[in-house]
Structures are given as structure tokens and as C-alpha cells.
Amino acid sequence: MHEHQQRAAGECRAGRCGAGRPGGGAGGGPDLRPEGPRAEDRLHLLGSLLATTELEITAATRLAEEEEIVDVFDAVNGWMQEVGPDAGLAANVLANRLERTALQVAQSDAEEPPPGREASFAAVTAATFVLSAQLHADRGDVEGARRALGGVEEAVIDVLQNVYALRVAIGDAQGGGEQ
């Protein structure tokens, strides 16, 4: 088991990977809220539950081993069985996941995020826009598809510019001028 997997598993076993963690869950547990969670806490609590689930999957997934793809398929098969055969629902869930991923990738303590993080954010954003464009097209919303495709193009430009900036940063390319 890799270090990040051990850490994730330990956090969950210690009860620190979700609503029970200090500052983690909006519900605060029965000691802080004996009346139970409030309706406005719902999305925060669901986010805590999602984080707990993702930490468990991370702890159970073997990375950089031959069996890694089997672990990933097992997790995806469980997901697909839960979502069911509704392709529209699955696409909406995936779009939401991509949006959450983009927001998480964008988080950085740096005043100006490093170019690799910016490129990653733009790549996930591009994927979100592509999926959105297809969903609009499937519904016959040509204008919505066009707007989303414009977002794809802007995001791809950002990816390329930040990949170049990262190459400059590591010495693979010379900086200067407009990219």
C-alpha cells in the first residue's frame, strides 16, 4: 500500500474523514446538534460523505501495480450499478463530478497557482464544457452547445499556454513574448 493510501485509510479508520472530523461535517454530530442536521446542511453533509467514500476508494485502490485497473473497474462497476441504465442521469453526475474536480484542482495556497495546476484546471474545465456541449446538442439546444464549445476552445488555449509556461519553468523552452 502506498503512503497516500495508508494515510487515507488511517484517516477513515480513525473517524477523521467526514462529518465526525472537527470542522469537517456541517451537521457537527449529536453533541453539537442534538436536533439533527438542518436542511441547509444537506449539501455540505453530502460533500463530507462523498469525501469519505473517495478516501475509502483511494485507500483500497492499488496504484502503479498491475491490478490497479481491476480495482478501478470494480469501483466503476459498483458506481454504474447504483446509477443504473439512465445515460442522461449518468452524464449529469459526471458533469457535476468534473465541476467539483475543477474547483478542487484550482485550490492553491499560492498567490498565483503554478502553471501545471492552472493547466490541469483548464483541462478539467475543457472536459466539463465538452460534456455540456454534447448534453445541449442531445436536447436540440444548438445555442447552448455553441456556448459550451466556446468554453472548450478558451479552456484548451489556457491548457496550451500553461503547459508552455511549465516547460519554460523546467527549462525545456525559452520564455518571452506572447504565447
Per-residue pLDDT of the chain (179 residues; tens, 9 = 90+): 445 444 444 444 454 444 444 344 444 555 666 677 788 888 889 989 998 988 888 888 776 666 667 777 888 898 899 888 888 888 888 989 999 999 999 888 888 899 999 999 999 999 999 999 999 999 999 999 999 999 999 999 999 999 999 999 999 999 865 54
In 3-state terms, what secondary structure has residue 156?
helix
Q: Is the pTM of this model over 0.85?
A: no
CA distance 33 to 158: 45
CA distance 29 to 36: 8
Supply the pLDDT for residue 26: 46
Supply the pLDDT for residue 32: 61
Burial of 92 (0-12, 13-18, 19+ CB in 10 A): middle
Supply the pLDDT for residue 68: 67
Supply the pLDDT for residue 41: 87
Helix axes 142-169, 115-138, angle to 10 degrees: 160
**Predicted confidence (pLDDT) per residue in 106-149, tens digit:** 888 888 899 999 999 999 999 999 999 999 999 999 999 999 99
Which residue stretches of 84-141 are H helix?
87-106, 115-138
Supply the pLDDT for residue 36: 74
Supply the pLDDT for residue 38: 81
